[in-house]
Structure 1
Amino acid sequence: MGNDSNSGRPITHQHDLAKLPRALAPLIERPQWAGNADGISYVLTEADPFGAIDLDHCRDPSTHSIDIWAQNFMQCAVTTYQEVTPSGSGVRIWGLADGDSLHRKFTLVIDGKEIAAELFRHTHKALTITGYKLDMIRALTNIDKVFGWALVWGERRKAAAAEQAVLAVGKGNGGGDGCGYSVEQIEQIVRAGAPAGVNRSDLFHTIVGHYTGCGWDAERIFEHLAQFPDGLGGRYLAEGRLSGEIVRSAGKFGAAVLPLFDGKGWSAGWEAKALQQSDLAPEPQPEQEPEGLEQDDAELDPDLVDDDDLDEEVPASRPNLPPLHAHGDPDPRPIKAWLIKHLIPAVGHGLLSGQWGAGKTFVVFDLAAALGTGQLFLGHTVKRQCGVLLIAAEGADEVRLRLDAVVREKCGNMARAPFRWYEAAPTLLHNKDAVPSLIAMAQQAEASLQDEFGLPLGLIMIDTIAACAGYGRSGEENDNAVGQALMNVLKAVAQAIGCFVLGVDHFGKDLLAGTRGAYSKESSGDVVLACLGNKELSGSVTNTRLAVRKHRGGRQGQEYPFTLRVVEAPEPDEDGEAITTMVVDWLPAGAPGAAQPPPDPWAAARRQDQRTAVLRLKRVLMAILAEQGVDLPIALDGPVVRMIDQKLVRKAFYVCTPADGTPEQQGRFRRQKFLAALDWAEQEQLIGAGEVNEVSYLWFVRPNGKQEEETD
């Protein structure tokens, strides 16, 4: 092993040796004299079979979030050991290496921040092993391919930065040709984003100025930039502030009047007047450092300690940050606050989705009845008896009829129920007044509920999300950035009011994909409930049930069967005929009136061990498909399906599979179980497998290839 050239001892630092994984035993030895040393530095040499990759300034020590560029490295090396560096703001990848001697460092600027990627293979370098592992991998695998990929990545980044350095970034706000880019270059930047090494904020401001100089108003600029969620305005679009940034930048160019979104909001529209320079908060500009620096392949002194702690600076404190909490500090807040215990949190946002005709709105009214009276809901205790607000973007003419029915049938026919509703809704997207309008509506409803019943507003329901989204262009409903922006509106209202906001939405044609449109909607929600049923060609729906499709931090997958019972209003219509609607009657599982769900084809394996492995594979696929899957065509011009990288599935499957023995025996056992479950599921046509762009993917396939159509 590597050691001090004078004493022959390993170089040690203060990191807890007990945290080091056993899989690194071939790499280090724990000398008895090391005592309670907090870590150990290993000196790589030319004769070592080991290699390492350092990714500096990529991790936020407070939030533990890791930058996208570093995640790409980690994904390439997903099968080997990875850990946090001593500073806490970097990542180190360890592995085996057989290639030629290599010591390269790429110093670049990505998203306005200077980062570094340094590669070590068969070279002299002292590196600290911290043991602060980032995943469950406890073995070293060959990473020569990762080195090859990293070299190409670094050289391309350097070349792009050098090319942009010779371009004029701008000539001020007014004169000359405006921005120094050709029309072709501007459109490429709008579509693909800022080139490496270029300050994105400055470039955004410059290009908005170009369009303003061409006579475009802010609305036209927004519509153009919003078409490209991966382009220059993608980040602002995902955060719901693209329109504001456009107005801000355009204001600097002295536009007299910038009409924006006139008539598209809930109100009559607004105008953004030319902004004065004194009204604009100055944007902090990051220091521009030389880019593309490369360290020569020089032999390093083995006595040098790991310079990770010296290279990476502790992030400076910034003003206007949210409160920082520390473990062990006194905190009067409850550890978990519930609206309905173990089902819906007191504050949050989510969805109630479902097939057409499966009773979504009737379930909404049943939920409101339980919250207003404090009755159990699906056997769960109502922890916060409260009033309910419904924003009826569709079906407003049915609200009184259905509310009266559920009050008669479930609430003892009380004279007045703690329920308020609006029969109009603000447009949720492309409308700066969406959140303020919803908050004002909720505050008005809460004041009314407090005045009459002494109850807070605990639940806001928007029926339906699709009816009031206000999508601006074709295909926007399937845009994940737009879906996230939509859910951010619900989240902002929930946090401002201190309640739960539930959006009612439809399923799409592919029932396995869940809620219609962008999958980011379900990914964002704290809770996703789904009304399911078996729809016949005649339009009738049987086997209706409510499923807990997603529950952040709790159990999910439970199903609660119910039937819809027809009830009559006390008064007939003007022709003397009965006015009918329906209410929900919940059924115990297995009750005679409850239709039994069809057998699960995933549980059809004969052997118990095989059935266990197959069901584990199903759970893993369902758990990670929504958040980490991608939408890709199965074949050239084939249908687009939601699929997941097989490596991610394998990694998650291994984590869920208990195993005994040595690390090698554990790995072999898990690999056999995974491959056997994969083969069985593919033979039974439960999953599909294929390669797209040299990546192996898995996706769900319906038995016998049947696809159930869904209309709204």
Structure 2
Amino acid sequence: MEGGADAVRLAVANGRRVAKRSEREPKDARPGHAQVLADDLPLDIQFADELPEAFTPPDELVEGLLTVGGGSVLYGDSNSGKTFLVIDLAAAVARGSDWMGKRTETGMVVYLAAESPASVRSRLQAYQKYHGLKVPNFAIVQNPVNLFDGDADASAIIATVQRLEVQRGQKVQLIVGDTLARLSAGANENAGQDMSRVIERFDRIRTECDAHFLLIHHSGKNAAAGSRGWSGVRAAVDAEIEISDTPEGRCAEITKVRDLGTKGERIGFRLDVVELGTTKWGAPATTCVVVPADAPAKPKGKRMGEVEGAVVEFLAAYKIGIKKSEVVAHFAGRYEKGPIYRAMKALVSASAIHEASGMVCIAEVAK
């Protein structure tokens, strides 16, 4: 009985301690967690039950394609017409005119012509001559730009955009980077630690300028793998557009788009020659403009999957063969062993990689 009485007294004492602690702490307090005020939260929080009933759709810069303040990549092989198409799109934004049957939001364009300012100038001259008009509010930046080597050029772009808006009284809606390779000079395109620095500055520019940033990029050696280099670039953007040039015609296909529901849409176009003058040898000096056309039928070939693309990206960094077991070990914790071996088998069948004596390498570097 005495032991039972002691247990009762202990329980009562514990209850009093709990009650006193409850008086000091809010009911929802959890042991070990400091109490903070709502406005002291280090991260921006939105509760689901506080969302409004009315839905606000994404603000579109180009209908069904580009969003205001977003980011995109447009890529294709050399001479596929990708720069011509981007200039045509950017000119439509600067004019506030429809583009390929899509409505646009009018705004100033800042075109970072890091690859060839002269080429961009001549193509805009051809555009104006062909359409019989002048394109307003289309600024061509003619300096080299590097978003890999420090923050200086990113800061210069932001300052230029802000000052242009004051001078022109017009909002910059679109920034074009031509090309990603030139904007990331010195970086290893296949290395995430390098390209993530470029993407960080890409995001800073579009965020601080509140403008869409479109990057022109190149296809990889294996076209089925998509754009060249680190796959994280594709993951970082809101939209991706692939340019193809086939015997059936040229096409821009939306291969990725967030929240707009237009993935898979294909936009056909052709290039018409425009004569701008004569060379010093008396030959015609020509360039091209984009003209809408029917989109060619979509090829039946299967696009490379995520695992296959990751394997190709990894092997692209090697100039010699590597054991298949080493490829599997590289992706440990990211992909299971089975999918990696199946991906390598599929890539060998597609002639995207070569295999010999248990070793694999990119087909283009195999001898």
Return the TM-score normalized by structure 1.
0.40
Partner SS for 2:112? strand
- The residue aligned with 1:577 is 283
* Counterpart in the other structure of 1:519: 231
1:705 aligns with 2:344: no
More helix by share: 2
Which SS does the other structure have where 1:442 is aligned? Answer: helix
Q: Secondary structure at the match of 1:705?
A: coil
Report what 1:392 is aligned to: 113
* Local SS of the residue matching 1:409: helix
Equivalent in the alignment of 2:147: 428
Cα 1:492–1:532, aligned 2, differ >3 Å: closer, same or farther? same
Report whether the alignment pairs 1:376 with 2:98.
yes
Whichever residue aligns with residue 441 of structure 1, its letter is T
Q: CA 1:420–1:631 in structure 2 vs 1: closer, same or farther (change >3 Å)?
A: closer
Partner Cα distance (1:371, 1:349) in 2: 15
Give the superposed CA RMSD.
4.0
Query: Secondary structure of the equivalent of 1:478?
Result: coil
C-alpha distance in 1 between matches for 2:264 and 2:329: 20
Deviation of 1:402 after TM superposition, in Å, equals: 0.3
Distance 1:504 1:641 in 2: 30
Q: Is the 8 A contact 1:435 1:493 kept in 2?
A: yes
Residue in 1 aligned with 2:126?
405
Q: Is this contact kept in 2: 1:483–1:521, CA < 8 A?
A: yes
Larger radius of gyration: 1
2-side partners of 1:370 and 1:626: how far apart? 37
1:643–1:697 contact (8 Å) kept in structure 2:
no
**Take 1:697 and 1:311, find their aligned partners in 2: how far apart are those partners?**
49
Aligned-partner Cα distance in 2 for 1:332–1:487 = 33
Is 1:565 the counterpart of 2:281? The answer is no
Q: Percent identity?
A: 21
CA 1:342–1:631 in 2, change beyond 3 Å: closer, same or farther? same
Q: Distance in 1 between matches of 2:327 and 2:128?
A: 43
2:184 paired residue number: 469
**Residue in 1 aligned with 2:64?**
342
Q: What's the CA shift for 1:447?
A: 3.1
Q: 1:709 to 1:371 in 2, by over 3 A?
A: farther
CA deviation after TM superposition for structure 1 residue 369, in Å? 2.1
Partner residue of 1:487? Answer: 199
Q: Report the Cα offset of residue 432 of structure 1.
A: 2.7
Bigger relative contact order (CA 8 A; separation at least 6): 2
1:264-301 CA-partner distances (Å, limit 9, x unpaired): xxxxxxxxxxxxxxxxxxxxxxxxxxxxxxxxxxxxxx
1:99 is matched with none
Structure 2 contact 148–195 (Cα < 8 Å) conserved? no
Cα distance change on mapping 1:648 and 1:481 into 2, 3 Å? closer
Residue 365 in structure 1 maps to residue 87 in structure 2: yes
CA distance in 2, matches of 1:375, 1:492: 28
Aligned equivalents of 2:280 and 2:209: distance in 1?
42
Q: CA deviation at 1:424?
A: 0.9
The whole-number CA distance in structure 2 between the counterparts of 1:567 and 1:379 is 23
Residues 546-565 of structure 1 aligned to structure 2 (within 5 Å): 546-553=252-259, 554-565=261-272
For residue 545 of structure 1, the aligned residue among 251, 265, 277 is 251
Give the number of equivalent residue pairs.
321
Match of 1:357, as an amino acid? N
Closer/same/farther in 2, CA of residues 706 and 332 from structure 1, 3 Å limit: closer
In 2: Cα distance, 1:379 partner to 1:429 partner: 37
Shift of residue 527, structure 1, vs aligned partner: 1.0
Unpaired runs of 5+ residues, structure 1, are 1-86, 88-308, 535-540, 590-594, 603-617, 651-689
**1:437 alignment counterpart:** 156
- C-alpha separation between the residues in 2 aligned to 1:596 and 1:518? 29
Match of 2:166 in 1: 447
Q: Does the aligned pair in 1 maintain the 2:255–2:263 contact within 8 Å?
A: yes
Describe the superposition over 1:654-688 as per-residue Cα deviations: whole angstroms up to 9, x where unpaired.
xxxxxxxxxxxxxxxxxxxxxxxxxxxxxxxxxxx
Query: Aligned pair in 2 of structure 1 residues 632, 360: CA closer, same or farther (>3 Å)?
Result: closer
The amino acid across from 1:428 in the alignment is L
Contact 1:353/1:506, CA 8 A, preserved across alignment: yes
What code does the residue aligned with 1:561 have? G
Query: TM-score, normalization: structure 2?
Result: 0.73
The offset of 1:333, in angstroms, is 10
Counterpart secondary structure, 2:189 = helix
Task: State the match for 1:502 in structure 2.
Answer: 214
**1:335: how far off?**
3.7
The answer to whether the 8 A contact 2:112-2:145 is kept is no
The residue aligned with 1:531 is 243
Q: Structure 2: any 5+ residue segments left out of the alignment?
A: 1-27, 354-362
Contact 1:354 1:530 in 2 (8 A): yes
Distance change (3 Å), C-alpha of 1:544 and 1:421:
same
CA offsets per residue over residues 189-228 of structure 1, 9 Å max, x none?
Answer: xxxxxxxxxxxxxxxxxxxxxxxxxxxxxxxxxxxxxxxx
Query: SS at the partner of 1:557?
Result: coil
